[in-house]
Amino acid sequence: MQTQEQKDLIQNVIEQAKLRGIMKYLPNGELTHAPFSLSPYSMNQSVFEEMAELTIPFSELMIRVSRNTDFLAHHLEPIAAIDPFLKMLMECRSNEITQNCQLLVQRNDFFIANIKQNHDKNSYPSNEIQERTVLRQVELNTVSASFPFLITKLNQLHKQLFEQNELPRVIKNNPLDAVVDAFAYAIQNYGISDSVMLLIVQNDEKNIFDQLGLELHLWEKYKIATVRKTLTEIYTDGKLNQGHLVVNGKIVAVTYYRAGYTPYDFHAQEAFKGRKLVEASSTIQVPDLEMQLSGMKKIQQILTKKEVLSDFVSEDISVRLLKTFAKMHTLDEITNTSEFQISPAKWLSENADDYVLKPQREGGGNNFYGSEILKLIPSIKKEEQKAFIMMEKIKAETHSSLQLVNGQAETLNCVSEIGRFGVCFAEKGEVKTNLDAGYLVRTKAKNKNEGGVCAGFSCLNSIADFD
Ligand code: ADP
Ligand code: MG
């Protein structure tokens, strides 16, 4: 039970959050604060440092993968043959190369897990079980890596509450500046004065303040304007002029996708045409189509194979990346293999609770867990099995957290998912700048599978300082 004093304090903190623009829309159109936590996540310092140091090699890996169109086609075309959405995306490619530069704004998501390991057999006592804290990658988002604005604002609020003796000190976090600097760098590199950034949006965006905050910062820091359009509007309002994409009479230097990763964004045929128009221009796309495809779950799964990964990175980097990967298989690997020494059906029924089943989709709410997996599998045709990825469920460490969701406060047993933002600019595949850009923490009740902030499951959070 909260005392009246605690309740007043929480209401005041919620008003402070609103003042800073930490806002979102509810499905019914009401405006509320974005969910946030008042319990900064305490994590192991060396794991925190390991995670931050992995951003640069992961970005480099994604640039190399995205440049290898044969590799992408080899792994994705068989899935596109049975998945109309992927097929349509792949058909957006233009035959001509119109763009030399790539800007990657990515977010690499992890959980911290405590795993039990047998102690070295040669030492004494030989069968001692040790617990180790390890990083486990959930996924790397190459398209629409959201929350750089809201999480920066929340970090400022947490710092204020520390100074007012109401919270522990948190680790400084400012992805907003780094992401906006990267946009400005790319726009200046494009070399046309008075050019703009095109922000591709969904029709009914609930997380609009995260986007408007970026736009405002880009304007205030660099006087660069942003034009917001849906894919359909680009088709109706955009045109090509000497290779440049022109919208509202302005040349578009950078096109930043906060849409175009789900089938819903392509309901109208015009949206597909809009996507193709951008692709055919020389605008710097964040991300370009190949980079978006490189973030597919199938590509994540195939890169967990050492022999595949080593085609893209050095031996030393490969060892560091492999350590963070959970086990991943395609569903057909499981149903066709005798590796498990029992029938696939028995293996699945015994292991469903330890896996997450993922289709080739982004944006949350698409995955299947535990009994849902067993229910779904009989309806998946044999030729569709290769499009589904079975990923080992990561058992994240738990902690107590005070969660503020739509004006209500509740203390829950939670897990925290930590993302590292990365920005990387490359010209003809050669990396020019590559930076770690800060973190995102999303804290959610332990018993919730999916983690959407806008869906109301997860709360934005900061990491507690180590001292
Ligand atoms: P999406 O592209 O839809 O965001 P994700 O792979 O990020 O898909 O999964 C959505 C959410 O599901 C994650 O944010 C995480 O909370 C949970 N999740 C995904 N994979 C795992 C896993 N292997 N173990 C535990 N939770 C997971
Ligand atoms: Mg995700």
* pLDDT tens figures, 242-257: 999 999 999 999 999 9
- Lowest-confidence range among 25-29, 157-161, 349-353, 413-417? 349-353
Cα Rg of the chain, angstroms: 23
Pocket residue to mutate for ligand 1, from 292, 354, 367, most atoms within 8 A of Cβ? 367
pLDDT at 211: 98
Helices assigned H by DSSP within 280-379? 289-294, 297-302, 306-309, 315-322, 331-336, 344-351, 371-376
Tell me what percent of the residues of the chain surpass a pLDDT of 90: 86
Ligand 1 atom 3 nearest Cα: 364
pLDDT of residue 344: 74
* 284 has pLDDT over 60: yes
Query: Ramachandran region of residue 221, left (φ > 0), alpha (ψ -120 to 50) or beta?
Result: alpha
Residue with tokens 């809009």: 274
Q: Residues 294-320: pLDDT tens digits?
A: 999 999 999 999 999 999 999 999 999
Top mutation candidate among 115, 138, 207 for ligand 1, by most atoms within 8 Å of CB: 138
Pocket flag, ligand 1, residue 370 (CB < 6 Å):
no
Ligand 1 near 451 CB (within 6 A) = yes
Q: Quick check: CB of 356 below 6 Å from ligand 1?
A: yes
Q: Is 349 in the pocket of ligand 1 (CB under 6 A)?
A: no
pLDDT computed for residue 351 by the predictor: 87
Report the alpha-carbon angle 96-280-302, nearest 5. 70
The answer to whether the CB of 450 is under 6 A from ligand 1 is yes
Is 364 touching ligand 1 by the criterion CB < 6 Å? yes
Q: Is-contact 234 278, C-beta < 8 A?
A: yes
pLDDT of 382 higher than 80: yes
Q: Tell me if 59 sits within 8 A of 422, measured CB to CB.
A: yes
Of the pLDDT bands very low, low, confident and very high (cuts 50, 70, 90), residue 123 is low
pLDDT at 131: 85
Question: CA 287, CA 387: separation in Å to the nearest integer?
Answer: 23
Q: Which atom of ligand 1 is nearest to the CA of 297?
A: 6
Count other C-beta atoms under 10 Å from residue 12's C-beta: 11
Check pocket membership of 391 for ligand 1, CB cut-off 6 A.
yes
Q: What is the pLDDT of residue 120?
A: 61
| Ligand 1 center to 193 CA (angstroms) | 41
pLDDT higher than threshold 90 for residue 184: yes
**256 close to 286: Cβ distance less than 8 angstroms:** yes
- Strand partners for 2: none
Cα three-residue angle 243-246-210, rounded to 5 degrees? 120
Residue that the structure tokens 């460490």 belong to: 397
Question: Is pTM beyond 0.85 here?
Answer: yes
Residue 284's DSSP bridge partners are 254
What pLDDT is stored for residue 155 in this prediction?
Answer: 98
E strands present in 236-314: 238-241, 244-247, 250-257, 284-286
Residue 61, pLDDT above cutoff 90: yes
pLDDT at 127: 67
